[in-house]
Structure 1
Amino acid sequence: MAKNYDEETIYAECDIVRCDDNSTNWVSFVYDEKTIVTDQKGEDIEELLKHMEENKDRVFAYIRVETGDEMSKRQKFAFLTFIGTDAKPLNKARVSTDSKSLQSTCPDVAVNHFMDGEPDPLEEIIEKVRKAGGANYNAQA
């Protein structure tokens, strides 16, 4: 099946999020007709969730979350799939295959998080990433 996005462009955008030399913590992708393209980038993940809520259609995102404790900080990455309230049924159906394909292009995904209707609270997403990250020695206190 042919991909409806440019794999090299998507990978390069995700690489910006993965890079420690900048403050970009997320990149979003949307549909332009039937092609998935880069939408926005930013530092604050709350901005991304607000953008998703305003979009009301379909948005994919690759985010960076810092996990760990004082002794061991780690960067973990999550792939978010959002289907807004204005997405048509056929477009909703297309998201599942596109999401899987797109996620395979984004490196080091620890968590795949799906949201339908309204974006989930940031704390819920971060908690899911932390649980996927393994040992959390802060939990002993």
Structure 2
Amino acid sequence: MSDGIEVEQLVESKPRRMPLATSLEKDSIREAYEDVRSDLTDTEWAVFKFDGAQIIVHARGQCFEEFRQQFGDSERAFGYIRIQMGDEMSKRKKFIFLTWIGQEVGVIQRAKMSTDKALIKDVLNNFAVELQAGVEAELDIELFREALNRAGGANYGTGIRDN
């Protein structure tokens, strides 16, 4: 009879809730992406967060310090940022795509980030460097610049020779 009891216990257990598929607010995300890329606006960054199972535009701005403040320990998010690179002879704008997974994010939500990232990269598809961060110390403008320099190839210096 122990088999009958086990079967009854299985029937009474509650089904597991499956996570919903992620969707995008594609038009507003594309508009924020183009705003960051545009030379006609002062917008330097955009942050995209989860509203339930949907990725939305959370914030946009100009100051790197404001960008840093958009990410929390219990959050998953994406960032897109424009950084001025070069020297006095050659200035150019470079773009970074950032995936943020805070330290308090659970295992299942962490695992979903790979498929969620693929969705948003269909819209945010032009960048020089892709980074992942999870602690505030990794949100450092100098670390971002170093990553862009490494990805950029040749670095020609200042254009001033020491004689």
Question: Into which bin does the TM-score normalised by the smaller protein fall?
Answer: 0.7 to 0.9
How many corresponding residue pairs?
Answer: 139
Report if the CA contact (8 A) 2:86-2:92 is conserved: yes
* Divergent runs of 4+, >3 A: none
Asked if residue 89 in structure 1 is aligned to residue 117 in structure 2, the reply is: no
Q: Does 2:97 align with 1:79?
A: yes
TM-aligned CA deviation for residue 96 of structure 1: 1.5
TM-score, with normalisation over the residues of structure 1?
Answer: 0.87
- Stretches of structure 1 that go unaligned for 5 or more consecutive residues are none
In structure 1, C-alpha distance between the alignment counterparts of 2:90 and 2:122, rounded to whole Å: 28
Q: Which moved more, 1:111-120 or 1:68-77?
A: 111-120
For residue 7 of structure 1, report the CA deviation from its aligned partner: 2.5
Distance of 1:87 and 1:20 partners within structure 2: 36
Mapped contact 1:66–1:76 kept (Cα < 8 A): yes
Distance in 1 of aligned mates of 2:113 and 2:31: 22
1:135 aligns to 2:162 (yes or no): no
1:36 aligned partner, one-letter code: I
> Does the residue aligned with 1:105 lie in a helix, a strand or coil?
coil
The structure with more radius of gyration:
2
Between structures 1 and 2, the one with greater strand share: 1
Any unmatched runs of 5+ in structure 2? 1-20
* RMSD, aligned CA: 2.0
Paired residues of 2:88 and 2:158 also in contact (CA < 8 A): no
Separation in 2, partners of 1:11, 1:110: 18
The question of whether the paired residues in 1 share the 8 Å contact of 2:68 and 2:136 is answered with no
Pair 1:112 & 2:130 matched: yes
**TM-score normalised to the size of structure 2?**
0.76
Question: Does 1 or 2 have the higher relative contact order (CA < 8 Å, sep 6+)?
Answer: 1
